[in-house]
A and B are shown apart, each in its own frame.
Chain A
Amino acid sequence: MSTSPIPATADKVSVTDLQRIASQVRRDIVRQVHGVQSGHPGGSLGCADFFTALYFKVLRHDPAKWDMDGKDQDLFFLSNGHVSPVWYSVLARSGYFPVQELATFRKLNTRLQGHPTTHEGLPGVRMASGSLGQGMSVAIGAALAKKLNGDDHLVYSLHGDGELQEGQIWEAAMFAAAKKVDNLISTVDYNGRQIDGDVEDVLPLGDLRAKWEAFGWDVLETNGNDMAALLKTLDAARTRTGQGRPVMILMRTEMGQGVDFMMNSHEWHGIAPNDQQLASALGQLEETLGDY
């Protein structure tokens, strides 16, 4: 068992390395949720590849220099806070806090609250999220602060597709384009599922690409569960910053990706696996870095 953080040597990390990290991240997700018998495994598994790519390859960040202001660091804001297990895993595995702390997820007195927050001072988290629709506005504010500070680092945000039903998202979308917030890369976990069922059945989003383009964003699309494609798109997104438009990446993902019985359904949005289901899930996910 080895649970030492992975050094931020992003340049040398290969697609294969990232896939191996993502496998461990997925183990962390199901183990966290199983350990407290609550939480949101489906969406967390679906965007595990994105989080892994972001924290181990893309973000220019130094966990050792963590502070709230994050000057001279790329920043990430999680708007759909319920996928906290995946974020906690990559934060711990990249060195923001001890990996063993993942065992405290959602338990009394933990820093790893059900939904992420700054309240308990967890390193790596700069905003509370959980009530949906608020994170893009916050990311815009942080991006504006970077511009005012002459800091050329970028701000990233992640949103659920169901979350796009919140009106504040579109207030933020309009503002970011109108005010040329071009140091912002927002991403959508486009898995087509939400709590009550398929997004298509609950409240269809229509032509999402056309909507973001109509709002004035530079839109990229990718398969969010294909590590190579994801990296290529994230690289492309970076090259498209600083050109007067905010950048949006629509990432097609599969809720529950990596655990067969959690895929192809919304059922595993917010329920925990039992002991047998955990064993089955872990049997499908290689332990590459050592469980916490």
Chain B
Amino acid sequence: MTAYPVLDQKDTRSGFGAGLLELGRRNPNVVALCADLTGSLKMDAFKKEFPDRFFQVGIAEANMMGIAAGLTIGGKIPYTGTFANFSTGRVYDQVRQSIAYAGKNVKICASHAGLTLGEDGATHQILEDIGLMRMLPDMTVVVPADFNQTKQATMAIAEHEGPVYLRFGRPKWPVFIPADMPFTIGKAQVLVEGADVTLIACGHLVWTALKAAEELAAKGIQAEVINMHTIKPLDVETVLRSVERTRCVVTCEEHNRHGGLGDAVAQALAQHRPTPQEFVAVNDTFGESGTPDQLLRKYGLDVPDIVLAAHRAIARR
């Protein structure tokens, strides 16, 4: 199997910060807003270099979403930055009416998503955001896998006309996507080819799925690993092409089993090619305090969980 060496250990939010800065230099219409989390979102460099194009709105996320929507009128491309919980659940109606329904070109950039937020606990560990956002008509939902891809995605979404939800996280995480690997919104990446089971993952769990594929390979099982960095629109073609050979699938996500990547894949398969599917996801519960590794283990999002799910999926073919 193709190896993906660990290039570095970096947080995906820093990928966002780096992408935003580079984008700011390339595109004068890009502006950024933050609700008192500039440091957490790694937006400091953009703020320093482009003070006139950065808006600190204070702890007022609803207002931030509305201001962002207004800034598009006049041709700006606003990037909002706050935690995933405050980018979605807290402001759902503002995002729904003033951004999605109104068709505004706002990029909602959400850090600290999922369990790997860690010690802050369940109030901040949103596990429902992918579902919330993919239910909104015309909303594009992107969940990049590592630092390099988050940087790429941050820049790519500026070229996409329309609202986008970009989800990333807090912890340092292996960097393994080569910086020059092409990134296209809506085009999944087959990272490893295999004929026995398809592992479809997004975000941090893409790396976990790669590790699981290595363990499966050691037992003679060839897993195909797909990085589904865009949840909406889902790359159905790549999913179908894979399961045509493997005839079973495991979806892996740092999200509730309801509403996220697993649901999106299940819907596509139910419609086009009914296929046994196992779900590696949080089992309809809230999170809690702990280190990222402890939480991923406790909530069943670790390498052994994916391996077991792969065995279950294969047994159901």
Contact = CB atoms under 8 A, between A and B. Distances in A.
A148 B33 CA distance: 14
Interface in B70-110: 70-76, 78, 93-94, 96-98, 101-103
B69 A141 contact: yes
Interface in A114-163: 117-119, 126-131, 133-146, 148-149, 151
A270 interface: no
B286 interface: no
Contact of B70 (A128, A143, A168): A143
A70 interface: yes
A127 B68 CA distance: 12
A235 interface: no
Given A75-B73, A126-B73, A118 B62 contact: no
A142 B62 contact: no
Contacts of A151: 74
A136 B65 CA distance: 11
Given A117-B101, A127-B102, A145-B73, A137 B65 contact: yes
A118 B104 CA distance: 10
A119 B103 contact: yes
B1 interface: no
Interface string B22-64: 0000000001000000000000000000001101011010111
B73 A175 contact: no
Contacts of B68: 141
Contacts of A172: 63, 66-67
Contact of A138 (B58, B60, B98): B98
Given A140-B67, A148-B53, A167-B62, A129 B74 contact: no
Given A119-B102, A175-B60, A68 B67 contact: no
B70 A140 contact: yes
A272 B98 CA distance: 28
Contacts, number: 118
A17 interface: no
A134 B103 CA distance: 15
Contacts of B55: 144, 179
Given A75-B73, A171-B60, A144 B102 contact: no
A101 interface: no
Contacts of B53: 148
Contacts of A140: 63, 66-67, 70
A193 to B, nearest CB: 24
A288 B73 CA distance: 35
Contacts of B74: 69-71, 142, 145-146, 148-149, 151
Contacts of A69: 73-75
B66 A141 contact: yes
Contact of A128 (B31, B64, B78, B102): B102
A174 interface: yes
B102 to A, nearest CB: 4
A142 B73 contact: yes
Interface string A67-105: 011110001010000000000000000000000000000
Nearest to A70: B73
Contacts of B52: 148
A167 B61 CA distance: 11
B58 A141 contact: no
A186 to B, nearest CB: 13
Given A118-B103, A130-B97, A131-B93, A144 B67 contact: yes
A141 B94 CA distance: 14
Contact of A136 (B66, B78, B93): B66
Contacts of A175: 57-58, 60, 63, 67
Interface string A156-189: 0000000000011001101100010000000000
Given A141-B73, A149-B75, A151-B74, A168 B102 contact: no
Nearest to A138: B70
Contacts of A71: 74-75
A197 B49 CA distance: 52
Closest A-B pairs by Cβ, 7 of them: A141-B70, A137-B66, A145-B74, A171-B63, A171-B60, A141-B67, A138-B70
15 contacts: A69-B75, A70-B73, A77-B70, A130-B97, A131-B97, A134-B62, A134-B93, A134-B94, A138-B70, A141-B69, A142-B71, A145-B71, A145-B74, A148-B74, A172-B66
Given A134-B66, A141-B66, A141-B68, 17 more contacts: A69-B74, A131-B97, A134-B93, A137-B67, A141-B69, A141-B70, A141-B72, A141-B73, A143-B70, A144-B71, A151-B74, A171-B62, A172-B67, A175-B58, A175-B63, A175-B67, A179-B55
